[in-house]
Amino acid sequence: MHRKISDRLFERACRVIPGGVNSPVRSGRSVGVRPFFVKEAKGCRIRDEDGNVYIDYVCSWGPLIAGHAPVQVVEAVMKAAAGGTSYGIPSRLEVELAEQVAALVPSMEMIRMVNSGTEAVMSAVRLARGFTGRNKVIKFNGCYHGHSDCLLVASGSGLATFGIPGSPGVPEELVQHTMSLRYNDLDVVEEAMEHMGGDVAAIVLEPVAGNMGVVPPRQGYLEGLRRICDRYGALLIFDEVITGFRVALGGAQERYGVKPDLTCLGKIIGGGLPVGAYGGRRDVMQRVAPEGDIYQAGTLSGNPIAMAAGLAMLDIVRRDGVYEELEEKASHLAAGLGRAAEEAGVPMTLNRVGSMGCGFFSRHPVTDFETAAQSDTRAYAVFFREMMERGVYLAPSQFEAFFVSLAHEKEDLDATVEAAGEAFRATAA
């Protein structure tokens, strides 16, 4: 496989874009590659500028649950765009999408649309602080909630990939109210709350962690956090930017039966366009301006093209049997990968929840960031490169998820497993 055109584009990009990319993990640095540049994508396949084709398991980092360019979404986008690209005035599509989200995720009694997951979580935290009149926020090591200042502490995703504990440019004063604790450990939360529970506005987490690889919540963990929040009057915020409409139609809260006070969405709800949303208890959301006193706004929020794409995407995932199909496909893939790793003698711990998963190059169970971090990232890098050469695109980091979409057919999954067998053998060599 040659990537001459991509390489030239990357050189040009590096002159005008920091690191040549508009989001750090895309760079491929941690796995020792330069990024390829996409020409077009359809279904589960991406074609790069040099004509190479890859089966894609990144799926734009989660939004593309129906694969690239599903006809319904593309048609909805084109129709909406022809009617105007932005109004800055309310339109019907915003109401329809909010109504549908409220129906599918019942804890979200009221919803505010924003433009990204980062904005959704940042706004939800501000709301929780305003509502409770408290400042402190508890988050968990390895969870990523976007790049807003106060949440950029012991974060997952790109920070985990590049081993960055926080970021210069975030003043100490802005993170002094953020406490990051070990994921999946209720005792440390109990202990922290005993000391400062009365000052904690919110506990925020990914109910299934998807930014330190994939780490499911232990049995009783989410319920325990719910109880602790109730006891101390803190709000429970589920960051379902990845898990919303991914691990079940109603998200992780439906799958695990735990109701948060506030929920943050992104990715799938925008059908591949830049969208986020936050919402939850009516009495809390009524504090958002202009109904309430807690300010949050956006020039492009509720953008008609993005709303149309989101509505089309929800039409797709609401169909009967969608989550069963995703479960079946992802379990087929996971079983195949597990077998292939074992046959090659490569230690691998495979975590999976529905159609999101991660193969950790580790022989130990992975239950939190500390155990995820013990993975052999060098072996992952070799495996990643071997897979890429065989036309399979995985996340260019050990600490990210693979996503299976409706567009991945059994032949694609089998081809992936076959490539993985060779790639594991090369990794073990």
User: Could you tell me which stretch among 116-124, 162-170, 298-306, 365-373 binds ligand PLP (CB under 6 A)?
Assistant: 116-124
Question: Annotated catalytic residue: which of 256, 267, 323, 329?
Answer: 267
Please tell me the total number of residues recorded for the chain in this structure.
429
Reply yes or no on whether 380 is catalytic: no
**323 near ligand PLP (CB under 6 A):** no
Q: What is the DSSP letter of 370?
A: H
Helix residue ranges per DSSP H, 64-185:
71-82, 92-104, 117-132, 158-162, 172-175
Catalytic residue flag (residue 239): yes
Among 27, 30, 91, 116, binds ligand PLP (CB under 6 A): 116
What b/e readout covers 58-73, taking b as 16+ CB neighbours within 10 angstroms?
A: bbebbbbbbbbebeeb
Find the part of the chain contacting ligand PLP (CB under 6 A) among 115-123, 281-289, 352-360, 381-389: 115-123
Q: Which two tokens stand for residue 61?
A: 């980092």
Residue located via tokens 């089309």: 312
User: Under the criterion CB under 6 A, does residue 239 sit at the interface with ligand PLP?
Assistant: yes
Q: Does 294 contact ligand PLP by CB under 6 A?
A: no
**Taking CB positions, which residue lies at the least distance from ligand PLP?**
117
Q: Torsion angle of alpha carbons 276, 279, 284, 286, nearest 10°?
A: 80
Among 77, 71, 107, residue whose Cα is nearest residue 93: 77
Is 295 labeled as catalytic in the residue annotation?
no
Per CB under 6 A, the list member of 117, 280, 302, 310 interacting with ligand PLP is: 117
Q: Sketch the per residue contact string, 144 through 163, with ligand PLP: x for CB under 6 A, - otherwise.
A: xxx----------x------
Cβ contact 38:408 at 8 Å: no
What is the radius of gyration, based on Cα positions, of the chain? 21
Q: Which among 50-58, 236-244, 247-255, 317-325 is the span making contact with ligand PLP, rule CB under 6 A?
A: 236-244
Tokens of 106: 């019942």
Residues 271-291 as b/e (b if ≥16 CB within 10 A, e otherwise) read: bbbbbbbbbbbeebbeebeee
| Binds ligand PLP by CB under 6 A, chosen from 36, 57, 61, 131 | 61
35 binds ligand PLP (CB under 6 A): no
**Binders in 171-200 for ligand PLP, by CB under 6 A:** none
Told to check if 362 binds ligand PLP by CB under 6 A, we report no
Chain positions contacting ligand PLP, by CB under 6 A: 61, 116-118, 121, 144-146, 157, 206, 210-211, 239, 241-242, 266, 276
